């Protein structure tokens, strides 16, 4: 059981590795403390809930997840989602939705969906990530300026209006505190990159506020009360069928966002270390963590890219670093929780603003816009809907538009081209058809691109045209068809039936493995006949030439093949009457 849970991530683990993990875990743990509180506050819950999340979810995900290096906890990506759920459903239902999301994540991992989620369309992820950054940044303006009487609303535009309504209540002390914190963060990033800028800015601005103008700015204590210096007791939520059904939508949103962010974080860690994570195991680990954390009052957790990168840069080599990070946060909670009540709200705001700026992916956003492709449309739509409506709507519409535009591109890529052999170049080319060198009895079509529900019309129309023109043998060159779905398979089945009823034969050359497997499963492979499949076009063409009606070749001037020089002899008196028949005239005119 232990081996199943831990895998081989601790294989050959040594004291040297432990020393590196202890140092990395200590640094990441210190960085995580102000972020955990800030994300919790921005999500509309008490700051201690963010700390509980960093401790419990951070430890369990490192122990059970699929990445050696990922650090999990509350993140900025969840802020607008959790805040919206708190506003609409309440904190108790947020806890239940978080637990349900954990169950969903475990199921995703067991169903091996992890490898699919990794390939989420980039314009959608960049769009909603940048939108989330805008929401987080704007949500800190009131605390940065110390505005009084500002009420939190669910929608972005309502919060902006609320800020402007109370802009006259700016607190100079809060503005000074926030400015000091922001300045320290930026200076430490520039001159002391190895020092946790958020923690340093928090300490300096808090000390200045406490010594020079005490009780002049709002603090965590005055807004939320004191932070308890212990973990909460286990509380099992009361679940009913009605509650579960009611909370499926928010739970699904938490699960999907958690899956996407966790796997993106793991991919980033892979790129920095050259290692490979296990996507499905990562989802299971995140799921278990998100099932247990809410039972202790914590909020949703996922992989945190910035903390993971810090872990790697400071020498973390195994999941032990993530577990140490959680223990550091726990130690701070037990020893220094009462002091956290004195932290000004204005000191928390710049921390989240910097986080929002760093997570905004502004360079990627500008790059995709500059390309001016379909991706730009998906990007802007997802971004605008994330900011003005909500993340669920943004992702739904972003994915829908991305799929529609993808299908449109696939339709434009797919082609059905009639071709004929060029004896000089020794390859089949469409130019021969344009020059009247196509055979009236043999139609050769090259299919290019995936053959699925949106691209079946072209081949159906082309085959119908060939059958009406009198072709008895149709050769489908399928070496450039990488994918065949059930709709495409059904179209080919219908084409096969029509060709047989017309007295003709369908030949297939160069078929690839996936289309072949689909045909075998559906029974179409046997319906066409195993003897009618050829590896190369030339083999299929030789077979078709043996089926030619030699009488119809007499007098034909198309000369599609080398063999036509011998077959297409001038019309003599004996077969002149046969050449006058309508079907023959029709063939000779194609």
Rounded distance between C-alpha atoms, residue 238 and residue 157, angstroms = 35
Rounded distance between C-alpha atoms, residue 407 and residue 311, angstroms = 41
Q: Pick 565 or 211 by higher pLDDT.
A: 211
Q: Which of 383, 322, 343 is nearest to 129 (CA)?
A: 383
Q: How many CB atoms lie within 10 A of CB 246?
A: 15
- 438: which 2 tokens? 């196509």
3-state secondary structure (DSSP) of residue 379: helix
Rounded distance between C-alpha atoms, residue 393 and residue 391, angstroms = 6
State the pLDDT confidence band at 586, using cuts at 50, 70 and 90: very low
pLDDT, one tens digit per residue, over 298-355 is: 999 999 888 898 899 888 889 999 999 999 999 989 888 888 888 999 999 999 899 8
pLDDT score at 471: 80
Task: Find the mean pLDDT for residues 375-379.
Answer: 91
Q: What length does the chain have?
A: 590
Residues forming a β-bridge with 534? 509
* Full-model pTM: 0.74
pLDDT score at 437: 67
The full 3-state SS of 73-109, as one line of letters, equals ECCHHHHHHHHHHHHHHCHHHHHHHHHHHHHHHHHHH
Q: Which of 102, 112, 15 is nearest to 56 (CA)?
A: 102
- 152: which 2 tokens? 């939190």
Question: Residue 257: CB partners within 8 Å, gap ≥ 6?
Answer: 77, 78, 81, 302, 391
User: Domain extents for the chain?
Assistant: 14-402, 414-588
Rounded distance between C-alpha atoms, residue 224 and residue 340, angstroms = 11
Is pLDDT above 50 for 1? no
Render 370-398 in DSSP notation, one character per residue. HHTSHHHHHHHHHHHHHHHT-HHHHHHHH
Q: Which of 75, 43, 40 is nearest to 307 (CA)?
A: 75
pLDDT score at 424: 63
Helix, strand, coil tally for the chain in percent (to 5): 65, 5, 25
Is pLDDT above 90 for 416? no
Rounded distance between C-alpha atoms, residue 78 and residue 69, angstroms = 21
Q: Could you give the angle at the alpha carbon of 231 between the alpha carbons of 229 and 237, nearest 5°?
A: 140
State the pLDDT confidence band at 5, using cuts at 50, 70 and 90: low
pLDDT score at 585: 29
pLDDT score at 394: 87
Task: Find the mean pLDDT for residues 36-40.
Answer: 91
Is pLDDT above 50 for 120? yes
pLDDT, one tens digit per residue, over 138-178 is: 989 999 999 988 888 878 899 999 999 999 999 999 999 99
Q: Which helix (H) or strand (E) holds 533?
A: strand 533-534
pLDDT, one tens digit per residue, over 43-60 is: 989 999 999 999 999 999
Q: How many CB atoms lie within 10 A of CB 200?
A: 18
Task: Find the mean pLDDT for residues 242-250.
Answer: 93
Is pLDDT above 60 for 135? yes
- 224: which 2 tokens? 């939320």
Q: Which fold has domain 414-588?
A: Transcription Regulator spoIIAA (3.30.750)
Is pLDDT above 50 for 575? no
Mean pLDDT over each residue of the chain, to the nearest integer: 86
């Amino acid at each position: 059981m232990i081996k199943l849970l831990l895998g081989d991530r601790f294989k050959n683990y040594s004291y040297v590795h432990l020393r590196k993990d202890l140092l990395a875990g200590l640094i990441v743990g210190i960085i995580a403390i102000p972020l955990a509180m800030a994300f919790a506050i921005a999500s509309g819950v008490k700051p201690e809930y963010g700390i509980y999340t960093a401790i419990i979810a951070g430890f369990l995900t490192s122990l059970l997840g699929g990445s050696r290096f990922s650090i999990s906890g509350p993140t900025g990506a969840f802020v607008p989602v959790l805040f919206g759920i708190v506003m609409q459903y309440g904190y108790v239902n947020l806890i239940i939705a978080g637990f349900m999301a954990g169950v969903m994540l475990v199921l995703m991992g067991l169903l091996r969906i992890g490898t699919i989620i990794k390939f989420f369309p980039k314009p959608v992820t960049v769009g909603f990530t940048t939108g989330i950054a805008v929401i987080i940044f704007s949500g800190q303006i009131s605390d940065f300026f110390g505005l009084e009487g500002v009420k939190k609303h669910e929608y972005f535009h309502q919060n902006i209006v609320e800020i402007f309504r109370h802009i006259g209540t700016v607190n100079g002390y809060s503005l000074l505190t926030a400015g000091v914190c922001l300045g320290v963060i930026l200076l430490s990033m520039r001159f002391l990159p190895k020092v946790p800028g958020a923690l340093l800015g928090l300490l300096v601005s808090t000390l200045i506020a406490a010594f020079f103008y005490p009780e002049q700015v709002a603090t965590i204590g005055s807004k939320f009360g004191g932070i308890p210096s212990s973990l909460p007791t286990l509380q099992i939520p009361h679940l009913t069928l009605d509650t579960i059904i009611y909370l499926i939508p928010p739970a699904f949103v938490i699960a999907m966002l958690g899956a996407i962010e966790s796997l993106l974080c793991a991919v980033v860690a892979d790129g920095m270390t050259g290692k490979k994570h296990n996507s499905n195991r990562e989802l299971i680990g995140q799921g278990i963590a998100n099932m247990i954390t809410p039972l202790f009052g914590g909020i949703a957790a996922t992989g945190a890219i910035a903390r993971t990168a810090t872990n790697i840069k400071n020498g973390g080599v195994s999941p032990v670093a993530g577990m140490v990070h959680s223990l550091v946060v726990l130690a701070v909670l037990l020893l220094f929780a009462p002091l956290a009540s004195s932290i000004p709200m204005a000191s928390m705001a710049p921390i989240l603003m910097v986080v929002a700026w760093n997570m905004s992916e502004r360079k990627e956003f500008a790059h995709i816009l500059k390309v001016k492709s379909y991706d730009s449309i998906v990007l802007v739509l997802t971004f605008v809907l994330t900011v003005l409506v909500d993340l669920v709507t943004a992702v739904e519409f972003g994915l829908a538009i991305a799929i529609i535009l993808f299908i449109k591109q696939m339709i434009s890529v797919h082609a059905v081209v009639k071709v004929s052999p060029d004896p000089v170049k020794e390859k089949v080319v469409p130019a021969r058809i344009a020059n009247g060198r196509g055979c009236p009895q043999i139609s050769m079509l090259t299919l290019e691109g995936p053959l699925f529900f949106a691209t079946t019309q072209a081949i159906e129309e082309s085959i119908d045209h060939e059958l009406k023109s009198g072709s008895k043998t149709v050769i489908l060159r399928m070496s450039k068809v990488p994918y065949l779905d059930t709709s495409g398979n059904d179209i080919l089945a219908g084409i096969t039936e029509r060709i047989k009823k017309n007295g003709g034969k369908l030949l297939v050359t160069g078929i690839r493995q996936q289309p072949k497997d689909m045909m075998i499963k559906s029974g179409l492979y046997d319906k066409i006949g195993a003897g009618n499949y050829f590896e190369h076009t030339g083999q299929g063409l030789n077979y078709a030439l043996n089926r030619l009606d030699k009488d119809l070749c007499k007098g034909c001037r198309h000369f599609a093949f080398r063999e036509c020089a011998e077959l297409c002899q001038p019309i003599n008196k004996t077969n002149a009457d046969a050449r006058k028949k309508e079907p023959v005239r029709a063939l000779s005119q194609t």
